[in-house]
Amino acid sequence: MDSFLQEIERWSPNLRRYARALTRNAEQADDLVQDCLERALSRRHLWNQEGNTRAWLFTIMHNIHANDTRRRGSGPVSVPIDDRDGHHTRPASQYSRMAGLDMMAALDELPAEQRQVILLVALEGMSYGEVAETVGVAQGTVMSRLSRGRERLRRLMDEGSTALRVVK
Amino acid sequence: MSNKPIVIEEMELHAWVDGLLDDDRADAVESAIDGDAGLAARATAYADQNREIRNMFGGVADEPLPERLRAVNILSRHTRRRWLAPVAASVVWLAVGLGGGWLANDWLGNRALIEASQHVAEEAVSAHRVYAVEVLHPVEVFADQEAHLVKWLSKRLGHDIRTPDLASLGFKLVGGRLLPADGGEPAAHFMYEDKAGRRVTVYVSLYASGQETAFRYQEMQGIGAFVWLEPEMGYAIAGDIPREPLLAVSEIVYETFEPTH
């Protein structure tokens, strides 16, 4: 296998992880990854061996996702009932699981641009410069999205726990 | 001195949480957090956010990659889809198929590969039909500059390109040219001529099918072509000559390009 294919396969699991976080749906996520890989494989001539292959691949996927979302309308991507059902039926004793689902709900409340930046930093451990390259905006924009997004998440999750206490 | 509040930038707090800060500034952020409960709460919350997000999705990257997402599998499907896309081209090939141009010899099954080699053959036959009739400009670089031609095309294709020696079959190199292949990849095209003025062309393109195939023969609008694939390249020999001599040409070309030679 040549180095181009090796690089693509190397980053495929990372693409899958980010796609899952973006779409929240395994099938939809893998479709997105497949579209991304197909496009990347057909653009071998644009691949720069010395460049940042991860950022290149993530940019491709990011653009496809942005187009898909735009086509479907400006709202957030819908999540099938099946996937969200667990949220209601899972025993309350599974604290960490509950916390995670709260986090999911909070992420849903964020504007897509803030959510993407937060996910790329948290999941990929990308530097802010790499995120800027991937998303196609200035580094300062990445920073302000990160800052506003995280603060909003924090407030949303604080409110969530307050609400929970009130219910009890 | 120690009571003086330490000033840090908003982004330094985030960079510290993300482990992106150098030691000096990380120390400053830690001191600032020590002296400011609000800052400490934010830092903790942001770090928790990162951890929770990793807990939720991190495992996905450790799952085995589904077959449909493996690059090699996508490539073989991709070549098929790319081939099927233009309707006009499909019609041409349907006509070829009906005309009995295809010999179903040792080709059992792999449709994607058949379509991939059809694709390479089509490009080679197109190039042959366009350039073989040229009197003044059959090639871009003539055989008197063969060394330059080989070096140039090798550089453009990123592969070791050679000019096969077909003298034993009575064919002399006329020259060669660079061609655009499908997908914007460069292809090399060599032309040979015998004493009777009959021409055969050798078409070598970057075509990543990831697989090898045997020779396959077809005829299209009076032009015969032998085609075969290597994992990263496609080869096709086209000519308006009978099948047997064309096969002899193809065998020499194959031996010329075989990596072990």
Dihedral of the CA atoms B95, B96, B101, B104 (nearest 10)?
-90
Residues 51-90 of B with CB under 8 A from A: 52-58, 60-63, 65-66, 68-72, 74-75, 78, 82
Checking if the pLDDT of A86 tops 80, the result is no
B68-257 domain in CATH 3.30.200.100?
yes
Q: DSSP 3-state assignment of A160?
A: helix
Checking if the pLDDT of A120 tops 90, the result is yes
Per-residue pLDDT, A30 = 93
At A123, the pLDDT band (50, 70, 90 cuts) reads very high
For residue B82 the two structure tokens come to: 């790319």
**CATH classification for the domain delimited by A1-78, as one of 3.30.70.2740, 3.40.640.10, 1.10.1740.10, 3.40.50.300:** 1.10.1740.10
Sign of CA dihedral A104, A106, A110, A113: negative
Q: What is the ipTM of this complex?
A: 0.80
Q: How many CB atoms lie within 10 A of CB A127?
A: 16
Establish if B10 touches chain A: CB-CB under 8 angstroms.
yes
A87-168 domain in CATH 1.10.10.10?
yes
List Cα–Cα distances, B248 to B90, B226, B239, in angstroms: 30, 10, 12
| Average confidence (pLDDT) over A146-167 | 76
- Tell me the shortest Cα–Cα distance from B57 to chain A, in angstroms: 6
Q: Three-state secondary structure along B82-101?
A: HHHCCHHHHHHHHHHHHCCC
**Domain extents in chain A:** 1-78, 87-168
pLDDT per 10-residue tile (average), chain B, 261 residues? 70 95 92 93 95 93 89 69 40 43 39 80 93 90 94 92 93 95 87 93 88 83 89 92 90 80 37
Per-residue pLDDT, B230 = 86
What pTM does this model have? Answer: 0.54
Query: Half-sphere exposure (CA, 13 Å, Cβ side) for B79?
Result: 27
- Radius of gyration in angstroms for the set of CA atoms belonging to chain A, rounded to a whole number: 18
Between the two ends of chain B, the Cα-to-Cα distance in Å is 77
For residue B98 the two structure tokens come to: 């009906």
Per-residue pLDDT, A162 = 52
Q: Are strands B233-239 and B199-206 parallel, antiparallel or unpaired?
A: antiparallel
Checking if the pLDDT of A57 tops 70, the result is yes
Contact A45 B183 (CB under 8 A): yes
At A43, the pLDDT band (50, 70, 90 cuts) reads confident
By CB atoms closer than 10 A (0-12, 13-18, 19+), residue B92 is middle
- Which range (A34-43, A63-72, A110-119, B47-56) has the least confidence? A63-72
**Domain extents in chain B:** 10-62, 68-257
Per-residue pLDDT, B259 = 59
Per-residue pLDDT, B207 = 83
A-B C-beta contacts closer than 8 Å: 114
| Average confidence (pLDDT) over A78-91 | 40
Which of A132, A115, A122 is closest to A65 using CA atoms?
A115
